[in-house]
């Protein structure tokens, strides 16, 4: 593309169709599209109308001639000590076998297949097999228990569920089959078939007639030929639920052609990955990052993708960088939460391996606080790029695009609006546009660009009412995040719109207070919530995880540190932002995707029920909050 990011962005808004018609050349089309954008029914956008394509073709088949014997999928499990490299040709063969199995189980175009799997190669075969035959996959994070799984089975009504005997986390085996059986029992929808991958980690009781063994069926379809099913661009590729940080998860529905184009464009302009190189995202296929940047994005770009089962600290805190060295990773994607985990460990792990192949480390999913950004960029000596987006959008809204221009990054800012997103900062109450250095709700004027959600699965009304009706007077997409823009156009995320507290008439973002507290050298991580207070309306209360929890075993050490932290906030933000209390815990309550459940903490602080906890990582974290409050 060349030129400046701002110019590319301006063009993408002024000449939407021209801009995206060009990007569409990055993928293969079986039949060309007749119309770039159909926006006759706002806010529903239909991209590349009439075009026929296929995600699996673009991710796999398309590369067979040029990259057939090059690595496509690099599977590494530090849980089961397995490592296996599949070339594009081998990946193709496995995907075709999986597609044949699915067809033999009656799965066809438009049918739903729910994938409840740990990080194993077969999970990726299953996703790509669905894409190949036009089935709609719905991946459910393998760490979820029966309740969460049941509600997703209910919503997606799959004819087939693909699962495995067990997952493993930090050396602990978690049997999936009993959880799955219980979820199917709880759900009113019953799948006709269940396909089980047996990893030999946990015993399984198979249900006669419903449950099938993957390796047996695979043998039967070893030489299968399953041609790609060409799909109209707007057919559904998958559904996926949001993380559930702020309430009941929403079933995000995505298309085929728009998604493929958006990912191909982002790989080129934002992630700057080239065919033949290796991409490593330490996320999980259960999240949107896993869909876009473990599976489809890298493969569409002809890159090998590392599929990693394990934690960032086992066998030691150098494992991620060891993989970077071994596979000459050029682009890496992780989350601030993973980096904060590493921050509690010996920093020498960062320099033990040769990470010079790495062009950049991208971090997304939650606010990247300055101390963490500084720690990792100095420790690694590689560029760190924050990117801000949502399950709903599928690819970054705000970041820098070094494939277009070498825009410098700014600590604490994910960057600028990406091409295709008409981003505005709007006043919460009046809907008027705010100026530079003024806080507003981050909103996007529709149509949303290609790759973004089409609707809420099975619920168009919820799509419109949830996302497009919260700003008074205009139909714009709300991200439900606060932001601010500096004079140069860099955005800063100030937290979620429901994470604002009101202290004696001052509106403060909990994020700002968290930033301030985490700048204290003893603090590894912190969550701040607003708690009702008779005098002030609300006061800030912090829950901090220390780098060295042993340092505050004595009560007076604890008090002294609490005082020091309060003075840090006084100095940086003013006394009005000073937390009324800072409690020390060793664990924060988070969703399974690593986001802090501030609402639940706040509820406990106010003596209320913590609410829907189906997405919580470790309920023990809430007990710590309870104990701290007691
Ligand atoms: P739910 O919508 O169900 O409450 P969720 O919003 O946590 O769940 P996701 O779609 O996984 O589900 O997360 C998107 C949100 O994560 C964004 O709206 C924003 O609040 C936060 N986020 C993502 N990336 C960044 C980032 N780079 N900086 C700050 N916040 C981020
Ligand atoms: Mg959200």
pLDDT tens, residue by residue, 186-243: 999 999 999 999 999 999 999 999 999 999 999 999 999 999 999 999 999 999 998 8
Query: Is any atom of ligand 1 closer than 6 Å to the C-beta of 289?
Result: no
Point out the least confidently predicted range of 34-38, 54-58, 298-302, 536-540: 536-540
Instruction: Judge whether residue 483 has pLDDT over 90.
Output: yes
- 447 preceded by a cis bond (ω within 30 of 0): yes
pLDDT on residue 1: 62
In this predicted structure, what is the pLDDT of residue 2? 60
366 lines ligand 1 (CB under 6 A): yes
Which atom of ligand 1 is the closest one to the Cα of 368? 28
- 253-258-390 Cα angle (round to 5): 50
Residues 443 and 471 sit within 8 Å (Cβ to Cβ): yes
> Which protein residue has the closest C-alpha to ligand 1 atom 13?
390
384: Cβ below 6 Å to ligand 1? no
Q: Would you say the CB of residue 369 lies under 6 angstroms from ligand 1? A: no
Ligand 1 nearest-atom number relative to CA 287:
11
Q: What is the mean pLDDT of the chain?
A: 95
Phi, psi (rounded to 5 degrees) for 238 = -160, 165
Distance 626 CA to ligand 2 centre (A): 26
- CA of 467 from ligand 2 middle (Å) equals 10
409 lines ligand 1 (CB under 6 A): no
Q: What is the DSSP letter of 401?
A: -
Strand partners, 143: none
Confidence of residue 614 (pLDDT cuts 50, 70, 90): confident
Q: Which residue has the higher pLDDT, 157 or 473?
A: 157
Residues 173, 177, 183: CA angle, nearest 5 degrees: 120
Q: Is 367 in the pocket of ligand 1 (CB under 6 A)?
A: yes
Whether 248 has a pLDDT exceeding 90, the answer reads no
Query: Is any ligand 1 atom within 6 A of the Cβ of residue 491?
Result: no
How far is it, in rounded angstroms, from Cα 76 to Cα 304? 13
DSSP annotation of 415 reads B
Are 364 and 357 within 8 A, CB to CB?
A: no
DSSP classification of residue 214: H
Compute, in angstroms, the gap from residue 241 CA to the centroid of ligand 2: 10
Q: Is any ligand 1 atom within 6 A of the Cβ of residue 479?
A: yes
pTM of the model: 0.92
Instruction: Using a pLDDT cut of 70, give the percent of the chain over it.
Output: 100
Q: What is the pLDDT of residues 340-384, one digit of tens each?
A: 889 888 889 999 999 999 999 999 998 898 889 999 999 999 999
Residue 367 CA to ligand 1 center (angstroms) comes to: 9
What CA–CA distances, in Å, run from 353 to 122, 244, 317, 318?
30, 36, 12, 8
Per-position DSSP letters for 247-302, written without gaps between them: SS--EEEE-SHHHHHHHHHHHHHTS---TTSEEEE-S-TTSHHHIIIIIIHHHHTT
Q: Indicate which residue's Cα is closest to atom 3 of ligand 1.
A: 244
- Residue tagged 């709903």 (tokens): 392
pLDDT at 336 exceeding the cut of 80 = yes
Q: Chain centroid to CA 158: how far?
A: 23
Q: Which ligand is nearest to the CA of 250?
A: 1
Instruction: Give every CB contact of residue 352 below 8 A, 6+ residues apart in sequence.
Output: 318, 321, 322
Q: What average pLDDT does the segment 77-94 reach?
A: 98
Tell me what pLDDT residue 13 has: 98
Residue to substitute in 288, 365, 590 for testing ligand 1 pocket (most ligand atoms within 8 angstroms of CB): 365
Instruction: Determine the atom of ligand 1 nearest the C-alpha atom of 387.
Output: 27
How far apart are the CA of 242 and the centre of ligand 1, in A? Answer: 9
Which tens digits make up the pLDDT trace of 534-551?
A: 888 899 999 999 998 888
């Amino acid at each position: 593309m060349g030129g400046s990011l701002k110019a590319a962005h301006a063009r993408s808004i002024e000449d939407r169709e021209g801009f995206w018609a060009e990007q569409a050349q990055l993928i293969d089309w079986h039949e060309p599209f007749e119309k770039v954008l159909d926006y006759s029914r706002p806010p529903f956008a239909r991209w590349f109308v009439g075009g026929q394509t296929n995600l699996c073709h673009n991710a796999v088949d398309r590369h067979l001639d040029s990259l057939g014997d090059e690595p496509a999928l690099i599977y590494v499990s530090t849980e089961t000590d397995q490592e296996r490299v599949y070339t594009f040709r081998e990946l193709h063969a496995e995907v075709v076998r999986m597609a044949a199995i699915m067809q033999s189980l009656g799965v066809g175009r438009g049918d739903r297949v729910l994938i409840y799997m740990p990080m194993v190669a077969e999970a990726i075969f299953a996703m790509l097999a669905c894409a190949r035959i036009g089935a709609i996959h719905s991946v459910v994070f393998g760490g979820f228990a029966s309740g969460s799984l049941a509600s997703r089975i209910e919503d997606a009504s799959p004819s087939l569920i693909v699962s495995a005997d067990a997952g493993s986390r930090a050396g602990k085996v978690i049997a999936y089959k009993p959880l799955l059986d219980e979820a199917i029992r709880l759900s009113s929808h019953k799948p006709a078939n269940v396909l089980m991958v047996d990893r030999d980690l946990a015993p399984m009781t198979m249900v006669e007639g419903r449950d099938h063994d993957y390796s047996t069926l695979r043998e039967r379809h070893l030489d299968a030929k399953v041609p790609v099913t060409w799909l109209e661009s707007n057919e559904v590729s998958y559904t996926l639920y949001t993380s559930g940080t702020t309430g009941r998860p929403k079933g995000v529905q995505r298309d085929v052609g728009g998604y493929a184009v958006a990912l191909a464009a982002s790989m080129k302009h934002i992630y700057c990955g080239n065919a033949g190189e290796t991409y490593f995202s330490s996320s999980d296929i259960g999240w949107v990052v896993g869909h876009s940047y473990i599976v489809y994005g890298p493969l569409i770009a002809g890159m090998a993708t590392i599929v990693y089962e394990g934690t960032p600290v086992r066998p030691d805190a150098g494992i991620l960088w060891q993989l970077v060295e071994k596979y000459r990773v050029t682009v890496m994607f992780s989350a601030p939460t993973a980096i904060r985990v590493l921050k509690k460990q010996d920093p020498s792990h960062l320099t033990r391996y040769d990470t010079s192949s790495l062009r950049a480390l991208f971090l997304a999913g939650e606010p990247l606080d300055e101390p963490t950004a500084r720690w990792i960029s100095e420790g690694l000596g590689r560029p760190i790029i924050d990117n801000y987006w949502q399950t709903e959008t599928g690819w970054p809204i705000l970041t820098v695009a070094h494939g277009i221009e070498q825009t410098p990054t700014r600590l604490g800012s994910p960057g600028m609006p990406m091409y295709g997103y008409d981003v505005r900062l709007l006043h919460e109450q009046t809907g008027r546009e705010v100026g530079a250095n003024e806080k507003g709700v981050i909103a996007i004027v529709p149509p949303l660009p290609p790759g973004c959600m089409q609707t809420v699965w099975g619920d168009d009304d919820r799509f419109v009412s949830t996302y497009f009706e919260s700003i008074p007077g205009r139909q714009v997409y709300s991200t439900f995040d606060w932001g601010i823009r500096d004079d140069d156009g860099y955005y800063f995320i100030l937290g979620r719109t429901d994470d604002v507290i009101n202290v004696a008439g001052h509106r403060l973002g909990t994020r700002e207070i968290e930033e301030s507290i985490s700048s204290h050298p003893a603090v590894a991580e912190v969550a701040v919530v607003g708690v009702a207070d008779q005098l002030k309306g609300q006061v800030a209360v912090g829950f901090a995880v220390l780098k060295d929890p042993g340092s505050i075993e004595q009560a007076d050490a604890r008090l002294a540190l609490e005082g020091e932290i309060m003075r840090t906030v006084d100095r940086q933000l003013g006394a009005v932002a000073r937390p009324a209390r800072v409690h020390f815990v060793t664990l924060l309550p988070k969703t399974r995707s690593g986001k802090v459940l501030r609402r639940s903490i706040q509820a406990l602080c106010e003596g209320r029920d913590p609410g829907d906890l189906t997405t919580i990582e470790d309920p023990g974290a809430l007990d710590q909050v309870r104990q701290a409050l007691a």
